[in-house]
Amino acid sequence: MTWVEPHHSREAVRRAGKAFIDPATTSTDRELARAVINNWRSAHGFPLNSVQMVLRNKVRRLSSADPVVAQRTKRLPSIRRKLERFDKMDLPRMHDIGGCRAVLEDIAEVRAIEATYIGGKSRSRNLIGRHDDYIQNPKPDGYRGVHVVVNYQGEGAQQCWSGLRVEVQLRTKMQHAWATALETVDTFTRQALKSNVGDPEWS
Protein backbone atom coordinates (compact mmCIF):
# COMPACT_ATOMS: atom_id res chain seq x y z
CA MET A 1 0.00 0.00 0.00
CA THR A 2 1.22 3.50 -0.86
CA TRP A 3 0.80 5.93 2.00
CA VAL A 4 -0.05 9.57 1.33
CA GLU A 5 2.56 12.07 2.49
CA PRO A 6 1.73 15.64 3.56
CA HIS A 7 2.43 17.97 0.64
CA HIS A 8 1.77 21.30 2.32
CA SER A 9 3.28 23.28 5.16
CA ARG A 10 1.36 23.65 8.40
CA GLU A 11 0.86 27.32 7.61
CA ALA A 12 -0.70 26.38 4.26
CA VAL A 13 -2.97 23.89 6.04
CA ARG A 14 -3.90 26.56 8.57
CA ARG A 15 -4.84 29.00 5.80
CA ALA A 16 -6.81 26.31 3.98
CA GLY A 17 -8.84 25.56 7.09
CA LYS A 18 -9.75 29.21 7.54
CA ALA A 19 -10.54 29.73 3.84
CA PHE A 20 -12.70 26.61 3.71
CA ILE A 21 -15.20 27.93 6.27
CA ASP A 22 -15.02 31.62 5.28
CA PRO A 23 -18.27 32.64 3.50
CA ALA A 24 -16.30 35.24 1.53
CA THR A 25 -14.02 32.62 -0.05
CA THR A 26 -14.55 32.21 -3.81
CA SER A 27 -15.60 28.81 -5.15
CA THR A 28 -12.21 28.43 -6.85
CA ASP A 29 -10.29 29.20 -3.66
CA ARG A 30 -12.57 26.91 -1.65
CA GLU A 31 -11.79 24.01 -3.97
CA LEU A 32 -8.08 24.72 -3.59
CA ALA A 33 -8.53 24.75 0.18
CA ARG A 34 -10.48 21.48 -0.01
CA ALA A 35 -7.58 19.84 -1.89
CA VAL A 36 -5.09 20.93 0.78
CA ILE A 37 -7.35 19.68 3.59
CA ASN A 38 -7.97 16.35 1.87
CA ASN A 39 -4.23 15.80 1.51
CA TRP A 40 -3.78 16.65 5.20
CA ARG A 41 -6.54 14.16 6.12
CA SER A 42 -5.11 11.40 3.97
CA ALA A 43 -1.59 11.99 5.29
CA HIS A 44 -2.78 10.85 8.72
CA GLY A 45 -3.25 7.33 7.33
CA PHE A 46 0.26 6.07 8.03
CA PRO A 47 0.58 7.46 11.59
CA LEU A 48 -2.94 6.24 12.33
CA ASN A 49 -2.14 2.73 11.16
CA SER A 50 1.08 2.70 13.20
CA VAL A 51 -0.64 3.91 16.39
CA GLN A 52 -3.50 1.46 15.86
CA MET A 53 -1.07 -1.48 15.61
CA VAL A 54 0.62 -0.41 18.86
CA LEU A 55 -2.79 -0.18 20.55
CA ARG A 56 -3.77 -3.60 19.26
CA ASN A 57 -0.58 -5.11 20.71
CA LYS A 58 -1.23 -3.46 24.08
CA VAL A 59 -4.76 -4.85 24.10
CA ARG A 60 -3.57 -8.37 23.29
CA ARG A 61 -1.21 -8.29 26.26
CA LEU A 62 -3.51 -6.70 28.80
CA SER A 63 -7.08 -7.64 27.93
CA SER A 64 -8.67 -10.83 29.22
CA ALA A 65 -11.28 -11.05 26.45
CA ASP A 66 -11.43 -10.26 22.72
CA PRO A 67 -11.95 -6.50 22.60
CA VAL A 68 -12.80 -4.47 19.52
CA VAL A 69 -10.05 -2.27 18.08
CA ALA A 70 -10.95 0.06 15.21
CA GLN A 71 -9.65 3.14 13.45
CA ARG A 72 -11.07 5.95 11.36
CA THR A 73 -10.05 9.20 9.65
CA LYS A 74 -12.26 12.19 10.41
CA ARG A 75 -14.55 13.00 7.49
CA LEU A 76 -14.39 16.38 5.79
CA PRO A 77 -17.90 17.47 6.95
CA SER A 78 -16.91 16.69 10.56
CA ILE A 79 -13.71 18.69 10.18
CA ARG A 80 -15.70 21.59 8.79
CA ARG A 81 -18.20 21.52 11.66
CA LYS A 82 -15.40 21.50 14.21
CA LEU A 83 -13.66 24.45 12.54
CA GLU A 84 -16.94 26.36 12.53
CA ARG A 85 -17.82 25.46 16.11
CA PHE A 86 -14.57 26.64 17.69
CA ASP A 87 -13.41 30.13 16.75
CA LYS A 88 -9.79 29.46 17.69
CA MET A 89 -9.60 25.96 16.19
CA ASP A 90 -6.40 25.62 14.17
CA LEU A 91 -6.54 22.80 11.61
CA PRO A 92 -2.87 21.65 11.96
CA ARG A 93 -3.44 21.30 15.71
CA MET A 94 -6.73 19.38 15.44
CA HIS A 95 -5.82 16.26 17.37
CA ASP A 96 -8.51 13.82 16.25
CA ILE A 97 -8.27 13.78 12.45
CA GLY A 98 -6.87 10.29 12.89
CA GLY A 99 -8.45 8.22 15.64
CA CYS A 100 -8.43 4.65 16.93
CA ARG A 101 -10.44 3.00 19.67
CA ALA A 102 -10.36 -0.02 21.93
CA VAL A 103 -13.60 -1.27 23.49
CA LEU A 104 -12.63 -3.20 26.62
CA GLU A 105 -14.27 -5.41 29.23
CA ASP A 106 -14.14 -3.08 32.22
CA ILE A 107 -12.62 0.04 33.73
CA ALA A 108 -9.69 -1.94 35.15
CA GLU A 109 -8.62 -2.83 31.61
CA VAL A 110 -9.11 0.75 30.45
CA ARG A 111 -6.86 1.95 33.28
CA ALA A 112 -4.24 -0.71 32.58
CA ILE A 113 -3.88 0.34 28.95
CA GLU A 114 -4.10 4.02 29.83
CA ALA A 115 -1.10 3.54 32.14
CA THR A 116 1.03 2.23 29.28
CA TYR A 117 0.59 5.60 27.56
CA ILE A 118 0.89 8.02 30.46
CA GLY A 119 2.64 6.00 33.17
CA GLY A 120 6.10 5.94 31.63
CA LYS A 121 5.77 2.27 30.59
CA SER A 122 5.43 2.76 26.84
CA ARG A 123 8.12 1.29 24.58
CA SER A 124 7.09 3.53 21.68
CA ARG A 125 9.16 6.54 20.62
CA ASN A 126 5.95 8.47 20.00
CA LEU A 127 5.21 11.37 22.32
CA ILE A 128 2.06 11.67 24.40
CA GLY A 129 0.25 14.97 24.15
CA ARG A 130 -3.22 15.63 25.48
CA HIS A 131 -4.79 13.24 27.98
CA ASP A 132 -8.50 13.52 28.87
CA ASP A 133 -10.00 11.36 31.60
CA TYR A 134 -13.74 11.43 30.92
CA ILE A 135 -14.30 8.61 33.40
CA GLN A 136 -13.16 10.75 36.30
CA ASN A 137 -14.68 13.87 34.72
CA PRO A 138 -17.55 12.88 32.37
CA LYS A 139 -18.61 15.20 29.57
CA PRO A 140 -21.85 17.19 30.05
CA ASP A 141 -23.70 14.75 27.77
CA GLY A 142 -22.72 11.85 30.04
CA TYR A 143 -19.96 10.48 27.84
CA ARG A 144 -17.27 8.49 29.65
CA GLY A 145 -13.97 7.13 28.42
CA VAL A 146 -10.27 7.94 28.26
CA HIS A 147 -8.68 9.84 25.38
CA VAL A 148 -4.93 10.01 24.80
CA VAL A 149 -3.37 11.99 21.95
CA VAL A 150 -0.26 10.43 20.43
CA ASN A 151 2.18 12.66 18.55
CA TYR A 152 3.70 10.41 15.92
CA GLN A 153 7.51 10.49 15.65
CA GLY A 154 8.92 8.98 12.47
CA GLU A 155 12.48 8.14 11.59
CA GLY A 156 14.21 7.98 8.21
CA ALA A 157 11.69 7.73 5.37
CA GLN A 158 8.85 8.03 7.89
CA GLN A 159 9.99 11.39 9.20
CA CYS A 160 7.63 13.30 6.90
CA TRP A 161 4.75 12.20 9.17
CA SER A 162 6.40 13.34 12.40
CA GLY A 163 4.22 15.58 14.52
CA LEU A 164 0.90 14.35 13.13
CA ARG A 165 -1.53 13.55 15.93
CA VAL A 166 -3.69 10.49 16.48
CA GLU A 167 -6.32 10.25 19.21
CA VAL A 168 -6.61 6.95 21.08
CA GLN A 169 -9.97 6.29 22.76
CA LEU A 170 -10.36 3.69 25.49
CA ARG A 171 -13.88 2.67 26.56
CA THR A 172 -15.67 -0.15 28.30
CA LYS A 173 -18.47 -1.96 26.46
CA MET A 174 -21.06 -0.03 28.45
CA GLN A 175 -19.39 3.30 27.74
CA HIS A 176 -19.20 2.41 24.06
CA ALA A 177 -22.92 1.56 24.00
CA TRP A 178 -23.70 5.00 25.45
CA ALA A 179 -21.50 6.79 22.92
CA THR A 180 -22.99 4.82 20.04
CA ALA A 181 -26.53 5.60 21.18
CA LEU A 182 -25.68 9.30 21.34
CA GLU A 183 -24.25 9.24 17.82
CA THR A 184 -27.34 7.43 16.57
CA VAL A 185 -29.62 10.10 18.04
CA ASP A 186 -27.50 12.80 16.41
CA THR A 187 -27.68 11.05 13.03
CA PHE A 188 -31.43 10.42 12.95
CA THR A 189 -32.64 13.61 14.65
CA ARG A 190 -30.01 15.97 13.21
CA GLN A 191 -29.10 16.97 16.74
CA ALA A 192 -25.53 17.72 17.81
CA LEU A 193 -25.70 16.39 21.35
CA LYS A 194 -22.19 15.02 21.00
CA SER A 195 -21.04 18.64 20.65
CA ASN A 196 -23.30 19.86 23.47
CA VAL A 197 -25.69 21.44 20.95
CA GLY A 198 -29.28 20.40 20.36
CA ASP A 199 -32.79 20.22 21.74
CA PRO A 200 -32.76 20.35 25.58
CA GLU A 201 -35.42 17.59 25.62
CA TRP A 202 -32.69 15.16 24.56
CA SER A 203 -30.35 16.21 27.36
Q: Measuring CA to CA, which residue among 72, 11, 81, 78 is closest to residue 44?
A: 72
| 59 has a pLDDT exceeding 70 | yes
CATH number of 44-202: 3.30.460.10
Q: What is the pLDDT of residue 177?
A: 81
pTM: 0.84
pLDDT band at residue 119 under the 50/70/90 scheme: confident
- What counts of helices (H) and strands (E) characterise the chain? 6, 5
| 43 has a pLDDT exceeding 60 | yes
Mean pLDDT confidence for 50-68: 89
| 197 has a pLDDT exceeding 50 | no
DSSP state of 197: B
| 132 has a pLDDT exceeding 80 | yes
Q: What share of the chain in percent tops pLDDT 70?
A: 86
69 near 100, Cβ under 8 Å?
A: yes
pLDDT band at residue 184 under the 50/70/90 scheme: low
- Please provide the DSSP assignment of 65-80 as one string: S--EEEEEE--HHHHH
Q: What is the pLDDT of residue 66?
A: 79
pLDDT band at residue 186 under the 50/70/90 scheme: low
Instruction: For the chain, give every domain's residue range.
Output: 7-42, 44-202
